Amino acid sequence: MRATYLRFPAWTQHFWTWQTGKALPGQKPLLRHTWATYLGVTLALFGAGLALSTAALALLFPLWYLALVAGWFLTVCGERMMVLVIAHQALHRRFSGKARTDGFWGETVTVLSVFHTFRDFKEEHFDNHHRREIFATEADPPVQFLLGLGFRPGASRERQWRHAWTVFLSPVFYWHGFAGRIVSNLRSRNAARLAGFAVWAGWWLSLPFWFPHGVLVLFFAFFLPVILFAQLSALLDRLGEHEWLAERNPEFGHRFYTASNTAARYCGAPVPDRALPFGPQCAAWLRWGAATVFYHLPARLLVVVGDLPSHDYHHRYPSTPEWTTAAYARQRDIDTGPEGPEYQEVWGVGAAIDRVFRNWEGRPVDAYADR
Protein backbone atom coordinates (compact mmCIF):
# COMPACT_ATOMS: atom_id res chain seq x y z
CA MET A 1 0.00 0.00 0.00
CA ARG A 2 2.85 2.41 0.78
CA ALA A 3 3.97 2.18 -2.87
CA THR A 4 0.72 3.89 -3.96
CA TYR A 5 1.98 7.08 -2.29
CA LEU A 6 4.68 7.27 -4.95
CA ARG A 7 2.05 9.06 -7.00
CA PHE A 8 3.05 12.13 -4.97
CA PRO A 9 6.30 14.02 -5.73
CA ALA A 10 9.57 12.62 -4.42
CA TRP A 11 10.12 15.60 -2.10
CA THR A 12 6.93 14.69 -0.18
CA GLN A 13 7.86 11.06 0.50
CA HIS A 14 9.45 11.65 3.90
CA PHE A 15 6.22 13.31 5.03
CA TRP A 16 4.22 10.26 3.89
CA THR A 17 6.69 8.01 5.68
CA TRP A 18 6.00 9.92 8.88
CA GLN A 19 2.24 10.10 8.35
CA THR A 20 1.75 6.45 7.44
CA GLY A 21 4.57 5.19 9.67
CA LYS A 22 6.01 3.04 6.88
CA ALA A 23 9.24 3.79 5.01
CA LEU A 24 9.86 2.95 1.37
CA PRO A 25 12.36 0.20 0.45
CA GLY A 26 15.87 1.64 0.64
CA GLN A 27 14.68 4.98 2.00
CA LYS A 28 17.09 6.78 4.35
CA PRO A 29 16.06 9.14 7.19
CA LEU A 30 15.95 12.80 6.28
CA LEU A 31 16.58 13.81 9.90
CA ARG A 32 18.15 11.90 12.79
CA HIS A 33 17.12 13.20 16.19
CA THR A 34 19.36 12.89 19.19
CA TRP A 35 17.64 12.07 22.45
CA ALA A 36 17.97 15.76 23.43
CA THR A 37 16.38 17.15 20.25
CA TYR A 38 13.59 14.57 20.44
CA LEU A 39 12.96 15.60 24.04
CA GLY A 40 12.95 19.27 23.06
CA VAL A 41 10.45 18.79 20.26
CA THR A 42 8.15 16.70 22.45
CA LEU A 43 8.18 19.15 25.35
CA ALA A 44 7.61 22.01 22.89
CA LEU A 45 4.52 20.28 21.47
CA PHE A 46 3.10 19.65 24.92
CA GLY A 47 3.90 23.13 26.21
CA ALA A 48 2.63 24.87 23.09
CA GLY A 49 -0.63 22.95 23.27
CA LEU A 50 -1.23 23.91 26.90
CA ALA A 51 -0.27 27.54 26.21
CA LEU A 52 -2.49 27.81 23.13
CA SER A 53 -5.53 26.30 24.86
CA THR A 54 -4.96 28.45 27.94
CA ALA A 55 -4.64 31.65 25.90
CA ALA A 56 -7.75 30.81 23.88
CA LEU A 57 -9.88 30.40 27.01
CA ALA A 58 -8.35 33.26 28.96
CA LEU A 59 -8.62 35.83 26.16
CA LEU A 60 -11.57 34.48 24.15
CA PHE A 61 -10.23 36.18 21.03
CA PRO A 62 -11.98 35.73 17.64
CA LEU A 63 -12.05 32.05 16.59
CA TRP A 64 -10.76 31.06 20.04
CA TYR A 65 -12.48 27.70 19.73
CA LEU A 66 -10.31 26.76 16.75
CA ALA A 67 -7.21 27.61 18.77
CA LEU A 68 -8.57 25.50 21.63
CA VAL A 69 -8.98 22.44 19.41
CA ALA A 70 -5.51 22.96 17.90
CA GLY A 71 -4.17 23.18 21.45
CA TRP A 72 -5.85 19.88 22.31
CA PHE A 73 -4.14 18.17 19.38
CA LEU A 74 -0.73 19.50 20.38
CA THR A 75 -1.21 18.68 24.06
CA VAL A 76 -2.39 15.10 23.55
CA CYS A 77 0.25 14.44 20.90
CA GLY A 78 3.00 15.77 23.18
CA GLU A 79 1.71 13.91 26.21
CA ARG A 80 1.45 10.56 24.48
CA MET A 81 4.93 11.00 23.01
CA MET A 82 6.26 11.78 26.49
CA VAL A 83 4.81 8.54 27.87
CA LEU A 84 5.02 6.15 24.92
CA VAL A 85 8.38 7.25 23.55
CA ILE A 86 10.43 9.13 26.14
CA ALA A 87 9.35 7.30 29.32
CA HIS A 88 9.14 4.02 27.39
CA GLN A 89 12.68 4.29 26.04
CA ALA A 90 13.90 5.50 29.43
CA LEU A 91 12.62 2.42 31.23
CA HIS A 92 14.40 0.31 28.61
CA ARG A 93 17.49 2.45 29.39
CA ARG A 94 17.80 3.43 25.74
CA PHE A 95 16.61 7.04 25.83
CA SER A 96 19.92 8.78 26.53
CA GLY A 97 21.85 5.62 27.38
CA LYS A 98 22.64 6.96 30.86
CA ALA A 99 20.70 5.47 33.77
CA ARG A 100 20.52 8.66 35.85
CA THR A 101 19.48 10.84 32.90
CA ASP A 102 16.89 8.31 31.76
CA GLY A 103 15.49 8.04 35.27
CA PHE A 104 15.24 11.81 35.63
CA TRP A 105 13.41 12.35 32.37
CA GLY A 106 11.25 9.28 32.89
CA GLU A 107 10.04 10.75 36.18
CA THR A 108 9.72 14.27 34.76
CA VAL A 109 7.54 13.45 31.76
CA THR A 110 5.28 11.14 33.78
CA VAL A 111 4.75 13.98 36.28
CA LEU A 112 3.95 16.49 33.53
CA SER A 113 1.49 14.05 31.94
CA VAL A 114 -0.06 13.16 35.33
CA PHE A 115 0.71 9.55 34.45
CA HIS A 116 1.50 6.63 36.73
CA THR A 117 4.89 6.84 38.40
CA PHE A 118 7.91 5.85 36.38
CA ARG A 119 8.46 2.97 38.79
CA ASP A 120 4.91 1.64 38.32
CA PHE A 121 5.23 2.02 34.54
CA LYS A 122 8.50 0.06 34.59
CA GLU A 123 6.98 -2.70 36.70
CA GLU A 124 4.02 -3.09 34.35
CA HIS A 125 5.87 -2.83 31.05
CA PHE A 126 9.49 -3.84 31.51
CA ASP A 127 9.15 -6.33 34.37
CA ASN A 128 5.97 -8.03 33.13
CA HIS A 129 4.87 -7.23 29.57
CA HIS A 130 8.33 -7.98 28.12
CA ARG A 131 8.72 -11.29 29.96
CA ARG A 132 8.52 -14.24 27.58
CA GLU A 133 6.18 -16.29 29.77
CA ILE A 134 3.79 -13.34 30.30
CA PHE A 135 3.74 -11.47 26.99
CA ALA A 136 0.22 -11.32 25.42
CA THR A 137 -1.11 -13.97 27.82
CA GLU A 138 -3.86 -13.57 30.42
CA ALA A 139 -1.14 -12.63 32.94
CA ASP A 140 0.00 -9.65 30.84
CA PRO A 141 -1.08 -6.35 32.51
CA PRO A 142 -2.63 -4.91 29.30
CA VAL A 143 -4.75 -8.07 28.90
CA GLN A 144 -5.85 -7.84 32.54
CA PHE A 145 -6.72 -4.18 31.93
CA LEU A 146 -8.93 -5.04 28.93
CA LEU A 147 -10.61 -7.92 30.76
CA GLY A 148 -11.26 -5.57 33.68
CA LEU A 149 -13.06 -3.22 31.28
CA GLY A 150 -15.40 -6.02 30.27
CA PHE A 151 -13.91 -7.10 26.94
CA ARG A 152 -14.44 -10.85 26.65
CA PRO A 153 -12.80 -13.47 24.43
CA GLY A 154 -15.57 -15.59 22.96
CA ALA A 155 -17.95 -12.68 22.37
CA SER A 156 -18.81 -11.82 18.79
CA ARG A 157 -16.89 -9.14 16.95
CA GLU A 158 -20.03 -6.98 16.74
CA ARG A 159 -20.61 -7.30 20.50
CA GLN A 160 -17.00 -6.35 21.22
CA TRP A 161 -17.34 -3.21 19.13
CA ARG A 162 -20.61 -2.25 20.85
CA HIS A 163 -18.92 -2.72 24.20
CA ALA A 164 -15.94 -0.67 23.05
CA TRP A 165 -18.18 2.29 22.26
CA THR A 166 -19.84 1.89 25.66
CA VAL A 167 -16.44 2.12 27.33
CA PHE A 168 -15.35 5.07 25.15
CA LEU A 169 -18.37 7.03 26.44
CA SER A 170 -18.34 5.74 30.03
CA PRO A 171 -17.65 8.27 32.84
CA VAL A 172 -16.69 5.31 35.05
CA PHE A 173 -13.84 4.40 32.68
CA TYR A 174 -12.41 7.90 32.83
CA TRP A 175 -12.86 8.17 36.58
CA HIS A 176 -11.02 4.90 37.23
CA GLY A 177 -8.21 5.97 34.92
CA PHE A 178 -7.88 9.35 36.63
CA ALA A 179 -8.05 7.84 40.13
CA GLY A 180 -5.41 5.25 39.18
CA ARG A 181 -3.02 7.99 38.09
CA ILE A 182 -3.53 10.04 41.27
CA VAL A 183 -3.16 7.05 43.59
CA SER A 184 0.01 5.91 41.81
CA ASN A 185 1.55 9.35 42.35
CA LEU A 186 0.45 9.76 45.96
CA ARG A 187 1.88 6.34 46.87
CA SER A 188 5.28 7.22 45.42
CA ARG A 189 8.23 6.91 47.79
CA ASN A 190 10.26 9.31 45.67
CA ALA A 191 10.26 12.61 47.58
CA ALA A 192 11.43 14.63 44.58
CA ARG A 193 8.64 13.21 42.44
CA LEU A 194 6.03 13.91 45.12
CA ALA A 195 7.25 17.49 45.37
CA GLY A 196 7.23 17.93 41.59
CA PHE A 197 3.75 16.43 41.32
CA ALA A 198 2.46 18.70 44.11
CA VAL A 199 3.87 21.83 42.43
CA TRP A 200 2.55 20.87 38.96
CA ALA A 201 -0.92 19.91 40.21
CA GLY A 202 -1.02 22.86 42.59
CA TRP A 203 -0.27 25.32 39.78
CA TRP A 204 -3.22 24.15 37.70
CA LEU A 205 -5.57 23.83 40.69
CA SER A 206 -4.77 27.41 41.71
CA LEU A 207 -5.91 28.92 38.41
CA PRO A 208 -9.62 29.31 39.34
CA PHE A 209 -8.57 31.67 42.15
CA TRP A 210 -6.57 34.20 40.16
CA PHE A 211 -6.38 33.51 36.42
CA PRO A 212 -8.92 34.91 33.90
CA HIS A 213 -11.58 32.26 33.28
CA GLY A 214 -9.50 29.98 35.51
CA VAL A 215 -12.18 27.29 35.92
CA LEU A 216 -12.55 26.99 32.15
CA VAL A 217 -8.78 26.87 31.72
CA LEU A 218 -8.37 24.18 34.39
CA PHE A 219 -11.01 21.93 32.86
CA PHE A 220 -10.83 22.57 29.12
CA ALA A 221 -7.14 23.38 28.67
CA PHE A 222 -5.69 20.89 31.16
CA PHE A 223 -8.02 18.24 32.55
CA LEU A 224 -9.82 17.44 29.30
CA PRO A 225 -6.75 16.83 27.09
CA VAL A 226 -4.21 15.69 29.70
CA ILE A 227 -6.53 13.30 31.54
CA LEU A 228 -9.64 12.41 29.52
CA PHE A 229 -8.44 12.59 25.91
CA ALA A 230 -5.14 10.93 26.82
CA GLN A 231 -7.05 8.15 28.59
CA LEU A 232 -9.09 7.50 25.44
CA SER A 233 -5.92 7.56 23.34
CA ALA A 234 -4.30 5.02 25.66
CA LEU A 235 -7.27 2.66 25.34
CA LEU A 236 -7.35 2.90 21.54
CA ASP A 237 -3.63 2.17 21.48
CA ARG A 238 -3.87 -0.75 23.88
CA LEU A 239 -6.78 -2.42 22.11
CA GLY A 240 -4.78 -2.83 18.89
CA GLU A 241 -1.21 -2.89 20.25
CA HIS A 242 -0.85 -6.68 20.00
CA GLU A 243 -3.00 -9.63 19.03
CA TRP A 244 -3.70 -10.39 22.66
CA LEU A 245 -4.15 -14.06 23.69
CA ALA A 246 -3.30 -15.31 20.18
CA GLU A 247 -1.36 -18.54 19.92
CA ARG A 248 2.38 -18.26 19.52
CA ASN A 249 4.33 -19.96 16.79
CA PRO A 250 6.88 -22.28 18.45
CA GLU A 251 9.01 -22.15 15.30
CA PHE A 252 9.89 -18.52 16.08
CA GLY A 253 11.91 -19.59 19.11
CA HIS A 254 12.81 -17.57 22.19
CA ARG A 255 14.18 -14.51 20.43
CA PHE A 256 11.23 -13.75 18.16
CA TYR A 257 8.45 -15.08 20.37
CA THR A 258 6.50 -11.81 19.95
CA ALA A 259 6.36 -11.96 16.15
CA SER A 260 3.14 -13.94 15.82
CA ASN A 261 1.28 -11.54 18.16
CA THR A 262 2.66 -8.24 16.88
CA ALA A 263 2.13 -6.33 13.65
CA ALA A 264 3.07 -2.86 12.52
CA ARG A 265 0.13 -0.42 12.67
CA TYR A 266 0.13 2.03 9.79
CA CYS A 267 -2.04 5.08 9.19
CA GLY A 268 -3.04 5.36 5.57
CA ALA A 269 -5.15 4.10 2.67
CA PRO A 270 -4.36 3.30 -0.99
CA VAL A 271 -3.91 6.43 -3.08
CA PRO A 272 -6.42 6.47 -6.00
CA ASP A 273 -5.14 4.88 -9.19
CA ARG A 274 -4.39 7.07 -12.20
CA ALA A 275 -6.19 4.55 -14.42
CA LEU A 276 -9.60 5.36 -12.90
CA PRO A 277 -12.00 7.34 -15.11
CA PHE A 278 -12.35 11.02 -14.24
CA GLY A 279 -15.65 10.80 -12.31
CA PRO A 280 -14.77 7.76 -10.15
CA GLN A 281 -11.27 9.16 -9.62
CA CYS A 282 -12.66 12.44 -8.25
CA ALA A 283 -14.91 10.50 -5.89
CA ALA A 284 -11.98 8.29 -4.86
CA TRP A 285 -9.83 11.35 -4.12
CA LEU A 286 -12.59 12.84 -1.97
CA ARG A 287 -12.88 9.61 0.02
CA TRP A 288 -9.11 9.30 0.34
CA GLY A 289 -8.71 12.94 1.40
CA ALA A 290 -11.48 12.70 3.99
CA ALA A 291 -10.06 9.45 5.40
CA THR A 292 -6.57 10.95 5.59
CA VAL A 293 -7.57 14.26 7.20
CA PHE A 294 -10.25 13.00 9.59
CA TYR A 295 -9.05 9.47 10.40
CA HIS A 296 -5.47 8.51 9.59
CA LEU A 297 -3.77 11.82 10.39
CA PRO A 298 -5.54 12.25 13.77
CA ALA A 299 -4.74 8.62 14.57
CA ARG A 300 -1.05 9.25 13.83
CA LEU A 301 -1.00 12.41 15.94
CA LEU A 302 -3.08 11.19 18.86
CA VAL A 303 -2.90 7.38 19.10
CA VAL A 304 -0.09 5.71 17.15
CA VAL A 305 2.46 8.38 18.04
CA GLY A 306 6.24 8.46 17.73
CA ASP A 307 7.74 5.06 16.88
CA LEU A 308 4.53 3.12 17.67
CA PRO A 309 3.76 2.23 14.02
CA SER A 310 6.92 0.06 14.15
CA HIS A 311 6.19 -1.42 17.57
CA ASP A 312 6.88 -4.88 16.17
CA TYR A 313 10.45 -3.78 15.44
CA HIS A 314 10.80 -2.64 19.06
CA HIS A 315 9.79 -6.07 20.33
CA ARG A 316 12.30 -7.76 18.04
CA TYR A 317 15.08 -5.36 19.01
CA PRO A 318 14.08 -3.73 22.34
CA SER A 319 17.59 -2.37 22.91
CA THR A 320 17.97 -0.74 19.50
CA PRO A 321 19.48 2.75 19.54
CA GLU A 322 17.51 3.54 16.34
CA TRP A 323 14.23 4.26 18.09
CA THR A 324 14.12 7.79 16.63
CA THR A 325 14.21 6.32 13.09
CA ALA A 326 12.35 3.07 13.76
CA ALA A 327 10.34 3.15 10.50
CA TYR A 328 13.53 3.26 8.45
CA ALA A 329 15.31 0.67 10.61
CA ARG A 330 12.38 -1.73 10.28
CA GLN A 331 12.31 -1.32 6.50
CA ARG A 332 16.07 -1.85 6.32
CA ASP A 333 15.63 -5.11 8.25
CA ILE A 334 13.05 -6.19 5.66
CA ASP A 335 15.27 -5.10 2.77
CA THR A 336 18.23 -7.12 4.04
CA GLY A 337 16.52 -10.25 5.32
CA PRO A 338 14.84 -10.04 7.68
CA GLU A 339 16.81 -11.76 10.42
CA GLY A 340 13.69 -13.27 12.01
CA PRO A 341 10.20 -14.26 10.78
CA GLU A 342 8.40 -12.26 8.13
CA TYR A 343 6.97 -8.98 9.39
CA GLN A 344 3.22 -8.40 9.62
CA GLU A 345 1.38 -5.13 9.10
CA VAL A 346 -2.14 -3.75 9.41
CA TRP A 347 -3.38 -0.45 8.00
CA GLY A 348 -5.65 1.65 10.20
CA VAL A 349 -6.09 1.90 13.95
CA GLY A 350 -9.62 0.53 13.64
CA ALA A 351 -8.39 -2.42 11.57
CA ALA A 352 -5.81 -3.25 14.25
CA ILE A 353 -8.51 -3.32 16.93
CA ASP A 354 -10.83 -5.29 14.68
CA ARG A 355 -8.07 -7.87 14.19
CA VAL A 356 -8.03 -8.49 17.95
CA PHE A 357 -11.82 -8.74 18.13
CA ARG A 358 -11.90 -11.22 15.24
CA ASN A 359 -9.29 -13.37 16.95
CA TRP A 360 -11.20 -13.29 20.23
CA GLU A 361 -14.49 -14.14 18.51
CA GLY A 362 -13.67 -17.83 18.23
CA ARG A 363 -12.11 -18.28 21.65
CA PRO A 364 -13.75 -20.22 24.52
CA VAL A 365 -15.55 -17.84 26.86
CA ASP A 366 -15.74 -19.98 30.03
CA ALA A 367 -12.32 -19.01 31.38
CA TYR A 368 -13.28 -15.31 31.42
CA ALA A 369 -16.98 -15.46 32.24
CA ASP A 370 -16.66 -14.55 35.92
CA ARG A 371 -14.23 -11.66 35.54
Lowest-confidence region among 53-57, 181-185, 252-256, 355-359? 252-256
Looking at residues 126-143, what average pLDDT do you find? Answer: 92
Name the average pLDDT for the chain: 95
- Residue 201 has a pLDDT of 97
CB 309 within 8 A of CB 21: yes
* Dihedral (CA of 301, 313, 232, 181) sign: negative
- Residue 330 has a pLDDT of 96
Looking at residues 86-107, what average pLDDT do you find? Answer: 96
Lowest-confidence region among 111-115, 127-131, 199-203, 285-289? 127-131
- Residue 209 has a pLDDT of 97
- Residue 365 has a pLDDT of 62
Count of other CB atoms within 10 angstroms of residue 133: 9
Looking at residues 107-126, what average pLDDT do you find? Answer: 96
**Which of left, alpha, beta for 114 (phi over 0: left; psi -120 to 50: alpha)?**
left
CB 173 within 8 A of CB 219: no
Is 173 a residue whose pLDDT tops 70? yes
CA geometry: angle at 77 spanning 270 and 62, to 5°?
Answer: 100
- Residue 339 has a pLDDT of 81
Please give the tally of structural domains in the chain: 1
Q: Quick one: pLDDT band at residue 366, thresholds 50, 70, 90?
A: low
- Residue 255 has a pLDDT of 86
How far apart CA 136 and CA 225 sit, in angstroms, is 29
pLDDT tens digits for range 6-29: 999 999 999 999 999 999 999 999
8 Cβ contact partners less than 8 Å away, ≥ 6 residues apart: 16, 271
Global confidence as pTM: 0.95
- Residue 250 has a pLDDT of 86
pLDDT tens digits for range 260-312: 999 999 999 999 999 999 999 999 999 999 999 999 999 999 999 999 999 99
How far apart CA 113 and CA 46 sit, in angstroms, is 9
How far apart CA 286 and CA 212 sit, in angstroms, is 42
- Phi, psi of 266, deg, nearest 5: -105, 155
Which range of residues forms the domain containing residue 76?
2-368
- Residue 226 has a pLDDT of 98
Integer-rounded Cα Rg, in Å, for the chain is 21
